[in-house]
Each structure stands twice: as structure tokens, then as C-alpha cells.
Structure 1
Amino acid sequence: MPKLDQFPLFSARLPELAVRALPLVREVGSITKTAHRLGVSQSAVSQSIAELEKRLGIKVLIRGAQPVQLTEEGVLLSQYAQSVVIAEEKALAQIDDLRHNRGGRVRIGSSGPSASTRLLPSLMQRFSQLYPGIALELREAQDHDIIAALRRGEVDVAVVPGAKEESEFETIPLAYDRLVGIVSSEKAEPGSLKAADFQNQPFIMTKGGSEPLVRKWFNQSDIEPRVDHSIQQITSILALVKAGLAHSIIAELALPRGMAGVRVLPLDPPAPRSLYLTRLPTTPANTASSTFWTFSEYEIYRDT
């Protein structure tokens, strides 16, 4: 059987009607019936096939045969045409699913446990109940990495603190948080904690998204904390604090519920922290991400 690249001028665009007609001609054995199935005239089909033969320098129909039959070249082209039709139907079906929120994927960036454990799960759960065909993918990283991923289009939306300060983003206020001090229950004293209270104590610096805000809080008092440990995992920080080995400062929403052996104390001065659902103000990568944004905006403002 000849190969397509053996045909002269094959790089030229094939007549669309002929491409659509050949599989039907092969199936029904009639130009007239093919034209009827396609909703066009018989002459239109015949002219398009003649144009195809002229362009490629071949014959695709065995003239005079009843029912109409295809030449070997015609069979090859009909197989190609059938694959094009199948691919087109599949693509259109997928597009229809996306358009009607029956498919698609939303990539969600999270800058830490405040969003990943306390804010996003319930929002994602409610969205999935309403749009079960849309896949949700959560990616967690530090603030600057998530913002960079958002700029590069590697995530569709992201939850980051302080995003409203960046004019390049669209934002929805998701939650208001604050930094808090955490100390062992055995060493806790009532009242709030000042920067000086940490100065002569072993201190754990969080390596999560709150680190810049923690350092900024100390800088306000011109105090440098005694950083004995640098830890990213909240569970590890709490284990050391519970054992009385060090104090720390982390975001309140990042704390798990029901912590035995650990006391949470406010900071003086306070260190507020706002979290925003964020996206770039460009055309969304897909309908699913637009649907998630609209849904989230409705849900967030409904709850406030």
C-alpha cells in the first residue's frame, strides 16, 4: 500500500468535503447517498472528490463499479479521514464537557498549612459535590514559590498571604489570620508575648510561609531572635515546644485543634496576616478554573 508522503503536493490542504465524504462512500457505496448523509448536493461531493484527485494526482474512485468502490489509494485516504473525524468528535465532546463543567482540572496553589488544612478542604469539598467531573489538584509550597508558579501559569489559582498588595493579581479575601506565640504549657505565663520575651529563649524559626512576617515582627522591636532550630513541619515545631525545648511563632490558622501540652499566646504588638485567593487577571487557562473562581467568590462572600 502506498504511503501518504509518496503523493505529490500532499503538503497542500485536502478538500474538506472530500475528506468527510470518502469514509461514507466506502460505507454506503453511493455518491448520492453520501451527499444525502452530509446534507449537500451530489455535484458538490463529486466536484470535491475530483479536486482531491487532481491535487494528489491519483484516482480514489473505481468509476463504473456498482456499488461505488474506492481504489487502494482511496481506501488509504478514507482511513485517514475516518481518524480525523473520530479525533474531531472526541475533541468536540471534551470541549462540550469543559463548557458544561463536566470535565477539566483546576490546579490550586497553597502557601502552607493555614490554607491546606483549615481553609481549602471545605471549599474544595463543596465544589466537588457541585461539579464532580472537575478534578482539583492541590500543590503546596512556600509563598514565593507559589506566587512564581502562578505567574508562570503552573497553577490556576493560589492561596497566599498579602497578595492584595501585589497589583498584578485579582484577589478574594479568604481569611484573616494572625501570628501567635506558642510555648510549653509548663512554662506559660498569662498575658501576651513581646519580642524581648523570646530574646533569651531557644527559638524555633518556622521555614513555612510565615517566616518573613515573623522576622518583620521582630524587626519592629529591633530585636534578633535566638534561632536554635529552623523547622518547616508544624508537627515537629509543636513536639519541641511541648517538650519545653524552645518557643516559636507561627500562624494561628496553621495550628491543629486540641493541642495538649502547648499554650497559644497573643503577640504584642499584634501581627495580622490576611490570606487571599489569587489569580492573574488574564484569560483563564480553562473553563474549570473560571468556574472554581466564581464558585469560591460566591461561597466566601456568602459566609462573611
Structure 2
Amino acid sequence: MTFTQLEIFVMVAEMRGFTAAALRLGISQSAVSHAIRVLEQELDVQLVERQQAAVEVTELGGRLLLRAREILGLQEAMRQDAAVARGLNQGLIRIGSFGPTSSLKLLPAILKAFRARYPGIEVQIDEGPDAAVIGWVADRRVDVGFAVLPDDRFDTVPLVEDQLVALVQRDHPLAAKRAITLEELVGLPFIMPEQGCSALVEPLFANAGLAPHVRYRMSQMVTVLGLVDNCDGVTVMPELALPHAMAETHPRVVARPLRPMVRRRVGLILRNLSRAAPAVQAFAEIARTAAKAVR
């Protein structure tokens, strides 16, 4: 068993195909197939099922996939430790990011500071819903992820705090209020924002014993804002998820805080910060500082 075989196995599982894995790794498809076949023969198990549409990991393969990622993570940590000892800054950090708060507001500032200090470290970013990012961290697909805190399953690094706000069209009667209650939103056509927001908004109403009248479920911010702009519904979103230029692009959309105020914390989650690779620890430390300037 070699590190290369494990790397190929992980890539095949993530890309769900031999051809896609070969393109990502820059090797031939036959080399990928050979590596998987040899690894399966050595372990005497079937790791993947070769289906017509895609390659699927077997149940046992899924368990061994976690082990493979752990081994490759330790290998990367050893490489980075050695590079640091030689005075070099090399290696790879894999980041999971969700929604506009992390991808548009936090990541650019953090990456700019990180690149300035560690230009030789490669950064790989995967984006998806917050639930997916949590799964990626748990499965070791990424080294560190952005998430809504608290989360007792992981080591965490708090970065920013904001509040949930209601979005209504400027001519709507609720726009005249300084703050809006959940009760005032019930019965109105509601736009449920996906990509992580629904995981905050739906429990918020449920815990208050309320149920919004959901007309639409949307994952794209521009679509949500367009519907509110057309007075086709109201919504609730985190303040930091809103675009900087919303006043220019959607001047008829106004944001009002909820009453009572609902706070939200966003930060980093890691399986074990103290045992993370040097590049991951450096990223977490730089993120603490860079996030202070983000609003």
C-alpha cells in the first residue's frame, strides 16, 4: 500500500469517477484504474462499485476512506513540519466554505493576509451548504471549515458575530418599523433562503411556536433580493450574508433587525486544532486577526 494509491482512492471517491480523478491528478485513467485494482487486491476487499453513470464507494470502502484521509492528513502534517524546520513554507490546506458570509465576506480578507505571509502554501477551497461543510470536516475531506457556532463536535475558532434581519420591500408597511417581530412576518408570503440560512430561520420560527407561510425556497441571493424587491415576499437572513452594494443594486429592499434581537456567530471548525498541520494552525491564527476588519 502506498500514499499514491490512497490519494488516488480518495480522489476517485470524491470525483465519483476514474476519468475525473485522472484529470484532477494529471495522470492517465489506466493508472487510476490500476491503482484502485492493486489496492483492492492488497486489502482483499471491494472499495468501489463501477456503475454506468458514476463510481460509488462501497460500505466498507466508505469506512476505509476515512482512514485514508486521516493517513494522508498525517502525511501532509509531517511534510509541513519538515518544511517549517527547513525554514520553508510549503504544503496544502483544504478549506470548506458556505454561503456569502464566509465565501464573499470572510475568505477574501483572510486569504489575502494568509497569502502575504505564506505564498508557497497551496489553498484548496470547496463550497457548499453549511451542513455539507460540517460533513467534510468530520470526514476529513477538508482540514478546516467555516460554520455557525457553537458546535461541540469540533474545535472552534470564533471569527465574527452578526444578527438576523428581516428584508422587506421599501413600500411594505413593515418597512416603517425600526424592528420587526416574527409574529409580524407570519401570514406574509415568505421566501426561505437556503444555503445554510434555512437551518437558522426554520428553528427560529419553530421555537417561537410559529410557522411562516413559505412561498419560495431559494438558494441564490440575487433571486431572493429580486423577489423582495418586487414585493413578492419577505425573508429573514443574517446581516453578513447581505451584499455590500445592496443599497445600489436593490435600493427598494430594506433590512430591519428582528425584535427581540437574534445573534449569530460564525467561525472555523476543526477536528483537532492542536494536532493540525502547521499551515492549518497558521490559517486559523491569521483568520482571527483578519476577521476583525470584516463587516
Assess if the C-alpha contact under 8 Å between 2:160 and 2:291 holds in 1. Answer: no
- 2:283 is aligned to 292
Q: CA RMSD in A?
A: 2.6
Other structure's SS at 1:292 match: helix
Q: 2:229 aligns with which of 242, 246, 258?
A: 242
CA deviations over 1:158-207 (Å, ceiling 9, x no partner): 11002xx3333221110002111001112122221112222221110011
Cα distance in 2 between the residues matched to 1:116 and 1:293: 16
**CA separation of 1:257/1:223 partners in 2, compared to 1, >3 Å: closer, same or farther?**
same
Greater RCO (Cα-Cα under 8 Å, separation 6 or more): 2
- Give identity over the alignment, percent: 29
**Residue 279 and residue 221 in structure 1: after superposition, are their counterparts in 2 closer, same or farther (change >3 A)?**
same
| Counterpart check, 1:216 vs 2:203 | yes
Q: 1:268 and 2:255 equivalent?
A: no
List runs of 5+ in structure 1 lacking aligned partners: 1-90
- Secondary structure at the counterpart of residue 276 of structure 1: strand
1:184 corresponds to which of 169, 172, 186: 169
Q: What is the match of residue 257 of structure 1?
A: 244
Indicate if the aligned counterparts of 1:98 and 1:104 stay in contact, CA closer than 8 A.
Answer: no
User: What TM-score does the superposition give when structure 1 sets the normalisation length?
Assistant: 0.63
Structure 2: 5+ residue stretches without partners: 1-77
Equivalents in 1 of 2:168, 2:114: separation in Å?
37
What is aligned with 1:125? 112
Cα deviation digits, residues 52-92 of structure 1 (max 9, x gap): xxxxxxxxxxxxxxxxxxxxxxxxxxxxxxxxxxxxxxx99
Relative to structure 2, which stretch is displaced further, 246-255 or 293-302?
Answer: 293-302
2:158 aligns with: 173
Equivalent in the alignment of 2:123 = 136
Between stretches 215-224 and 267-276, larger displacement belongs to 215-224
Work out the number of aligned pairs and report it: 211
Structure-1 separation of matches of 2:117 and 2:82? 19
Shift of 1:117: 0.9
Contact kept? 2:98, 2:128, Cα under 8 Å: yes
Separation in 2, partners of 1:215, 1:205: 8
- 5 Å-filtered alignment, 1:58-207, equals 96=83, 100-162=87-149, 165-187=150-172, 188-207=175-194
Deviation at 1:217, TM superposition (A): 1.7
Does the CA contact (< 8 Å) of 2:143 and 2:280 recur in 1?
A: yes
Give the one of 214, 217, 227 matched to 1:227: 214
Report the Cα distance in structure 2 between the residues aligned to 1:158 and 1:93, rounded to whole angstroms.
20
Shift of 1:98: 8.8
Q: If you compute each CA radius of gyration, which structure gives the higher value, 1 or 2?
A: 1
TM-superposed deviation, 1:123: 0.9
